Amino acid sequence: MVALVAEAEAGELARGPCELRGWEARTLVDDRAAGRVRALLADPSGAVRWLALTLASGRCVLLPAGQARADRAGPCVWIPGFAADQLELLPAYDPGAGPPDAVQERALLAAFSAALLRERPAPAEPAGAGGADGSGPGADPRLDAATLCGDERA
CATH superfamily ID and name for 3-129: Photosynthetic Reaction Center, subunit H, domain 2 (3.90.50.10)
String of DSSP letters for 39-53: EEEE-TTS-EEEEEE
At 28, is the secondary structure helix, strand, or coil? coil
Q: Which helix (H) or strand (E) holds 55?
A: strand 48-55
Taking the C-alpha atoms of residue 45 and residue 36, their distance in angstroms, rounded to an integer, is 25
Please report the pLDDT score of residue 125 as a whole number.
45
Asked if 87 and 35 count as a contact pair (C-beta separation under 8 A), the reply is yes
Domain ranges across the chain:
3-129
pTM, whole model, 2 decimals?
0.68
Please report the pLDDT score of residue 60 as a whole number.
93
**10-residue mean pLDDT series, the chain (154 residues):** 46 53 91 92 82 93 88 86 88 84 85 74 44 47 52 40
